[in-house]
Amino acid sequence: MQFLPPVRRAPQTEKAGGGGVDAGLVRAARLTTRRAARNEPGNGIQFSRHPQLQMNQETQSNSSDSTPGFGGLRVVAFESRMAAEVATMIERRGGVAIIAPAMREVPLEDNHAALDFADRLLAGESEFEVVIFMTGVGTRALFQAMETRHQRAPIAAALSAIATVARGPKAIRALRDLGVEPSIAVPEPNTWREVLSTLASQVELKGKRVAIQEYGVSNQELTAGLEARGARVTIVPVYRWTLPADRAPLRAALNAIAAGAADVAIFTSSNQVTNVIQLAEAEGIGDGVKRGFARMAVGSIGPVCSEQIRAYGLRVDFEPEHSKLGHLVKAAAAQAASILIANRADTHRIEAGTAPNPRRPAISNAPRSPLADHPMLKACRREAAPYTPIWLMRQAGRYMPEYRRVRERHGFLEMCRRPDLAAEVTVTAVERLKVDAAIIFADILLPLIPMEVGLHFEKGDGPVIDRPVRTEADLERIPAVDVAALGFVGDAIKLVHRAIGATTPLIGFAGAPFTLASYLIEGGSSRQYQATKTFMYMQPETWHRLMERLARTTADYLKMQIAAGADIVQIFDSWVGSLGPDDYRRFVLPHTASVIAAIPADVPVIHFGTVTGNLLGLMREAGGDVLGLDWRVDLADAWARLNYSVAVQGNLDPIALFADVSEIRTRARAILDQAGGRPGHIFNLGHGILPDTPVDHAIALVDMVHEMSAR
């Protein structure tokens, strides 16, 4: 197995002026700003300023503008081309400008790709049927490269004869200036999703030869989306983005951010975001920089940039009304103070609670598992597997006649408490379905039994808590939990491991702290979670104490299952979709993260929730090797939003198994296409299998996933 290296904390430095940062960092950053404004070199850094650039409406300060100023806030800007101009704008609005250029553009010398594209475009019959132009500057640069070999007129004529797609107004303007009227204009907000959806709505892409003009980092999501729809894609790079030659100002700014000595950050391109995070990680302060951003007001020039910020698990606090630099600085000056008050209050509360350790402990000298190369475990590690592994949540359940025969003679809790019965239904499901993993038969609420809250199951109503937790006194009455009281689950795992452990990975599981807390507070299931949310808002200290206790119990419970033989563990946060991002960040994330951080790194963790499309980035931040997706999200879109930094599991709608087999096949194929054959996809339902599901349809799904994904 391979694991990420440990992340070093930002070095502790002498505090200056209460800011908690080496004063030299701030002095160096300010010196950089002053030199930039005067267009002077400093420490080897180069600021490119066009000699004829004049202050325009975007950069000019309006004397009648009543927008509040920064009031001395420290504003980090990662702009390169207009470094001096943005410094002037920040300082005119009362801010301390820390200019840290995060990138430079490097033209591709001897651009064979551009020349080859031109040759193929001008062939007797053009080899391309669609060309996508992503940026205005890139479009002009591509023409400039092609014109070293060919005249502009035939290039423009060839493009006018096929479908040309322009992503946004700058690409449209560039094409028109060069003599080409684009046939498809992509609407706002001009992300790759709009490019793909607009093109697909107007052109049948299957079999089409599509070229993409790229400017900087490759857009893998767009390429994958086109290929998934049957297009044959050619990438035509023009420039590449790289870090600046002199990285001292950027390093100084990152250290200031990590040390809490910066208040506002503004990003003007997605490439800046990538370079900032990558350099922070390379310097060993990635985690500190992300914590620093969490305490700051973070602004983005527009949706494409915001998407990249969120892909790294960071929050975007504001965007300007118009995607222009001057409007961004104005929005920052107007909103930063109020944003900082809210962000720093939330950060203080989170850090005052359980602080999750991002490093998971490895099992030293642990022997290599004989199942290490099983497709299921390889997928958890995002390694290539011979086919897409599949298992089904609630695969041992009421839809199976074998299960119903056992259930007719025994109560549900009795089946959970008796290792022989739990093992029997677990193994039967694997043998009947031929899935790639077993999941131990149990229930997420079992840890509530030793809490003595009166857990029982009523027919038609599900779980009921006789003594719910509604006050601090209720919490005090709950005894300390020794997970040895749940040893029957470990015993069942041992029996399953003995029966099929040599060939089939076994999944242990537990409910996440929030879901357990919601049951405890509501007294059972709920639709609105009114009691739970009221508890959070009105008794935050008691809430965090409850969550800390549940997190410790859950971590111990999962480690007990691992010791018994579980190869993988899954955390079910079934009800967390009832929360918005701010509440999740404040009340849930640190506690879920503490559970995951306690799991040995050798054991993959699947982190699953429902109705969590708006929480995926935060759930990724909480941790886990695999993120479970329910059927309400598009798998391709969700995985791209996660920057492919984690494996994913899902996500067929359980109701689809009631359709005929041909329809099931179509829907399964669509999900496999969304995954695009990338390593790290585990096929599953978007929630548990339903009681009336035809067993033969479940078996057919397993078979067809194995067949269609075979590589």
Active site residue 407: yes
The phi-psi region of residue 394 (left if phi > 0; otherwise alpha if psi is between -120 and 50; otherwise beta) is left
Contact 577, 612 (CB under 8 A): yes
594, 551 Cβ separation under 8 angstroms: yes
**Active-site residue, from 34, 120, 381, 407:** 407
CA dist 205 → 134, 199, 229, 234, 349 (Å)? 18, 8, 6, 14, 50
Q: Is the dihedral of CA 277, 282, 286, 289 positive or negative?
A: negative
Catalytic status, residue 584? no
Alpha-carbon dihedral 507, 513, 514, 519, rounded to 10 degrees: 90
Omega into 249 within 30° of 0, i.e. cis? no
DSSP string spanning 522-583? Answer: HTB--SS-HHHHHHHHH-HHHHHHHHHHHHHHHHHHHHHHHHHT-SEEEEEETTGGGS-HHH
Residue 628 backbone dihedrals phi, psi, to 5 degrees: -80, 135
The angle that helices 136-146 and 169-177 make with each other, rounded to 10 degrees, is 30
Q: Is 398 considered catalytic here?
A: yes
CB-based contacts of 127: which residues, under 8 Å, 6+ apart?
120, 121, 209
Distance (Å, rounded) from C-alpha 595 to C-alpha 403? 32
Out of 263, 317, 443, 556, pick the active-site residue: 443
Q: What angle do CA 94, 96, 97 make, to 5 degrees?
A: 115
How would you classify the pairing of strands 184-186 and 163-167? parallel
Helix axes 487-500, 419-433, angle to 10 degrees: 40
φ/ψ bin of 213: left (φ > 0), alpha (ψ from -120 to 50), beta (otherwise): beta
Tell me the one-letter amino acid at 570: Q
One DSSP character per residue, 594-659 reads: HHHHTS-TTS-EEEEESS-TTTHHHHHHH--SEEE--TTS-HHHHHHHTTT-SEEE--B-GGGGGS
From the list 229, 232, 344, 398, the catalytic residue is 398
Structure tokens belonging to residue 345: 């209050």
CB 448 within 8 A of CB 479: no
Q: How far apart are CA 703 and CA 92, in angstroms?
A: 66
Q: Which position among 35, 315, 394, 641 bears the catalytic label?
A: 394
Tell me which of 215, 399, 519, 644 is the catalytic residue.
519
Q: Distance from CA of residue 348 to its chain's centroid? A: 24
The CA-based dihedral angle spanning residues 662, 664, 665, 670, taken in that order and rounded to the nearest 10 degrees = 130
- For the annotated catalytic residues, the residue numbers are 394, 398, 407, 443, 519
